Amino acid sequence: MSKLEKIFELQKRGSTIRQEIIAGLTTFLAMVYSVIVVPNMLGAAGFPAESVFIATCLVAGLGSILIGLWANAPMAIGCAISLTAFTAFSLVIGQGVSIPVALGAVFSMGLVFTLISATGIRAWILRNLPANIAHGAGIGIGLFLLLIAANGVGLVVSNQAGLPVKLGEFTSFPVMMSLIGLAFIVGLEKMQVKGGILWVIIAITIIGLIFDPNVKFGGEVFKMPTFGENSLFLQLDLQGALQPAILPVVFALVMTAVFDATGTIRAVAGQANLLDKDGQIINGGKALTSDSVSSLLSGLFGTAPAAVYIESAAGTAAGGKTGITAIVVGVLFLFMLFFQPLAFLVPNYATAPALMYVGLLMLSNVSKLDFEDFEGAMSGLICAVFIVLTANIVTGIMLGFAALVIGRIVSGEIKCLNLGTVLIAIVLVVFYAGGWALA
């Protein structure tokens, strides 16, 4: 116990081993959908699903253990859904890039990303992320999580005319289970029931097994892990990825990962109260580098780029404060290698209430906006709103930076700007104006 205390600072951070295990289980259940979604998306582009499943579990398992042990952060790493979509539908299907070259691009992105993190450039970006925009990113990510979860169960659906979304089928089983689950989570958290989020996920899964014909237990539980006959392990083509036509893709992946993942890490750290007196992330440099190193593993194993999952906030909401949370997540993902048949068992409407609850919690960042600094507060809100309206975290951050710089200049408060903020704003605007951003 004393050794664990020394490594993970449990008492100092106000946590216990039991609390960390529950938080790890909660985060795992909130993001385990990735081992279903990522193989399906990449499979549509011709990636062998069996190989991708193994690779996805390995990246999430090893990446989460790395950030837990090295950075002592309650953050879980997995294959980023947004970058998975880009790899599958834009790079391979859209541009006709071969799978080995695509994996080479993923590895190259991870290499550049790691250099940026290790040399302190990424930490410099984080230091120059204005507090109001950081809070705005937290608000926007919370709203984004709400939208993702609500859309995933059909509570809100695409609208073909007028506004982009509309109410879905309110009385459908997934929608009712999600809303009832959210209400139970709120009640249990008010009563300070430890692991309330986890119990709701388990309860809804059991209800789904009983009443939902789409949730089926096939009888098979255990299967020895294998990359399969069409293994993508070490099949990356680095030389092909260095072709001039592919380099802009690598640049786009790097830029997106820098701001998307950095914003996510900042938001989760704030949720877990892991910010120092200057508002900087405790062990932030190690967390950032762990995140980027995981994308190197993605290229080697044969899957999409990795990033810290915003679903990590589900674990911090359940009490996770140390790296033990992340290690529990990592170990569970490694166990998933042997339980491939169970990957489809937990329905999305069982985890949706957890994501909705976390999204609502993150809206509390509104109270942290400093409205005495009008330009700063408005820039934070612009960042938040456009993260949701564009379904892109980086786009919201870009518009927030641009609005802050222009607002300061117009209002005659140019002295309130530092060089780092101006440089980041210029780079982001040029990045978008040049058409390199990932939509």
Q: Is 80 exceeded by the pLDDT of residue 271?
A: no
Chain-wide mean pLDDT for the chain? 85
Do residues 302 and 235 make contact, with C-beta atoms less than 8 angstroms apart? yes
The rounded percent of the chain whose pLDDT value lies above 70 is: 95
If pLDDT is split at 50, 70 and 90, which confidence band does 36 have? Answer: confident
CA distance 166 to 168: 6
Distance CA 70, CA 68 (A): 6
- Of the listed ranges 297-306, 325-334, 346-355, the one predicted with least confidence: 346-355
Question: Is residue 432 very low, low, confident or very high in pLDDT (cuts 50, 70, 90)?
Answer: confident
Q: How many CA atoms lie within 13 A of 127 on its CB side?
A: 11
- Identify each DSSP E strand in 129-181 by its residue range: 156-158, 165-167
pTM for the whole structure: 0.72
Give pLDDT, residue 343. 67
25-61 burial: b if 16+ Cβ within 10 Å, else e:
bbbbbbbbbbbbbbbebbbebebbbbbbbbbbbbbbb
Distances (CA, A) of 395 to 89, 194, 232, 417: 20, 37, 32, 21
Q: What is the pLDDT of residue 344?
A: 66
pLDDT in tens, 386-426: 988 887 777 888 899 999 999 999 999 888 888 888 988 99
Reply yes or no on whether the pLDDT at 220 is more than 80: no
Of 58, 65, 24, nearest to 38 by C-alpha is 58
Please tell me the predicted confidence (pLDDT) of residue 53.
Answer: 92
Mean pLDDT of 13-31: 86
250 pLDDT tier (thresholds 50, 70, 90): confident
> Would you list the DSSP string of 250-313?
HHHHHHHHHHHHHHHHHHHHHHTT-B-TTSPBTTHHHHHHHHHHHHHHHHHHTSPPEEE-TTHH
Cross-strand bridge partners of residue 308: 77
Looking at the predicted structure, is the pLDDT value of residue 279 above 80? no
- Helix H or strand E encompassing 186: helix 173-190
- Residue 284 above 80 pLDDT? no
Most confident range, picked from 143-147, 182-186, 305-309: 182-186
> Which residues is 368 bridged to in the sheet?
none
Q: What are phi and psi of 77, to 5 degrees?
A: -110, 145
- Give the model's pLDDT for residue 303: 94
Question: Which two structure tokens, joined as six digits, stand for 418?
Answer: 């530092």
6-20, 192-206, 240-254, 323-337: which is most confident? 323-337
Q: Which of 13-17, 205-209, 292-296, 433-437 has the weakest average pLDDT?
A: 433-437
pLDDT at 227: 80
Instruction: Provide the angle, in degrees to the nearest 10, between the axes of the packed helices 323-336 and 17-31.
Output: 50
- Sign of the alpha-carbon torsion through 428, 433, 437, 439: positive
pLDDT at 426: 92
Least confident of 163-177, 255-269, 365-379: 255-269
Confidence category of residue 380, pLDDT binned at 50, 70, 90:
very high
Structure tokens at 326: 């992340």
What is the mean predicted confidence (pLDDT) over 306-327?
87
**CA–CA separation, 291 and 66 (whole Å):** 9
Least reliable range by pLDDT among 14-23, 174-183, 257-266: 257-266
pLDDT at site 407: 94
Range name among 47-56, 341-350, 419-428 with the lowest pLDDT average: 341-350
C-alpha distances out from residue 173 to 97, 170, 259, 359, 416, Å:
41, 9, 37, 22, 52
- The residues near 374 (Cβ < 8 Å, ≥ 6 apart) are none
pLDDT at 374: 93
- DSSP letter string over 75-130? --EEE-HHHHHIIIIIIIIIT---HHHHHHHHHHHHHHHHHHHHTTHHHHHHHTS-
Say if residue 120's pLDDT is above 80.
no
pLDDT bracket for residue 381 (50, 70, 90): very high
**Identity of residue 103:** L
> What does DSSP assign to residue 158?
E
